Amino acid sequence: RELENEIERMLVLAGPLTSLLGEELLSPRIRNRLAELPEGTGEARLGLPEAVERLERRMIRAELDRHAWNKTHAAEALGISRRNLIRKVQEYGFDRRRSEH
């Protein structure tokens, strides 16, 4: 839901220039959290759906790592339900065992 709101905000602020969407259109709260995440590569030329998915993956992974894979705490930090987080973890194929190596 939070991500949906951010996308809507970006689209409204971009107006007809949706191809020029950038991080500067994110709310300060999300932009500050984004700054804490590890840098990705090659995101500048991704379409909006791909960029949103990549951001979502990074945010989820960072919160899981930050909360030692406690899904309840990670979900609370992300502002989503635990059920939704579990669904996303499965969808993205995250595996705690692989992250510990």
Contact 65, 99 (CB under 8 A): yes
pLDDT in tens, the chain (101 residues): 777 777 777 777 766 665 566 666 667 777 677 666 555 544 556 678 888 888 898 899 999 999 999 999 999 999 999 999 999 999 989 887 765 54
Structure tokens at 22: 């950038």
Helix (H) or strand (E) holding 66: helix 48-66
Q: Which residues lie closer than 8 Å to 4 by C-beta, 6 or more apart?
A: none
Query: For residue 39, what is the DSSP state?
Result: P
Contact 43, 58 (CB under 8 A): no
Q: Which of 88, 17, 1, 23 is nearest to 53 (CA)?
A: 88
